[in-house]
Amino acid sequence: GTASVGPDHPETALAPRLARAVDAPPDRLHVLDQLSVGQTGPGDETITVGFDDDLGEMYPFSLADKLDRITEPLDWYLPGADTPWGAPILPIEMLSVLTNAGSKHAGFVARQPSIGLFIDMEVRLLGDPVLVGRTYRIDREIVALGESRRTESYWTRTTLTDDQTDRATAEVLLHQGVFKDSWPGYPDAG
């Protein structure tokens, strides 16, 4: 992986992988055949996270639960934190949870039953941190499709935009897939 600060950062670890997927799209998908590059979410998704909010079936913990398990939490993560932004900030590892918690609403679906997996992820802060209790618009777009010997996959770029300022605040690039053999209708399945 990579970590960097500022706009003049080196190429990230995921950039060449995404470029390869864009340059060599799969010929035909079977489990993800309902997805296409350029497909976007519904555009009406928003999310606000509080310390005790339920984050859905994929994330059976709250922000408070997560903070209890961080070995050395930053004071700015905690309830009542006095930050330059006027509210506690969300830990960076929670951004993927925030952007993925409501992803079923996006309509990016694989044929079922099938077994999915997370393959790669890149998280970027684009300016101010993401704040606890603030509402963010979620914009999603499929930016690439891929295939390997055992999987079909798609790359989704999700942007969090602060509802108050209308500024993009964070971006998560998620490469996820499904195992071909997990879908009974797959042509090569036994």
Which tokens is 95 given? Answer: 């951004």
Residue 102 sits in a domain of what CATH number?
A: 3.10.129.10
Q: Is residue 172 in some structural domain?
A: yes
Q: Tell me the CA end-to-end span of the chain in Å, nearest whole number.
A: 36
- What pTM was estimated for this model as a whole? 0.91
Structure tokens of 103? 């992803």
Residue 18, in any domain of the structure: no
Characterize 117-133 residue by residue with b for buried, 16 or more Cβ atoms within 10 angstroms of its Cβ, and e for exposed: eebbbbebeeeebbbbe
Count of the separate structural domains present in the chain: 1
pLDDT digits (tens, 9 = 90+) for 69-113: 998 889 999 999 999 999 999 999 899 888 887 777 788 889 999
Summarised one tens digit per residue, pLDDT across range 136-184 is 999 999 999 999 999 999 999 999 999 999 999 999 999 999 999 999 9
Please give the residue range of the domain that contains residue 39.
Answer: 34-182
Averaged over 50-60, what is the pLDDT?
Answer: 87
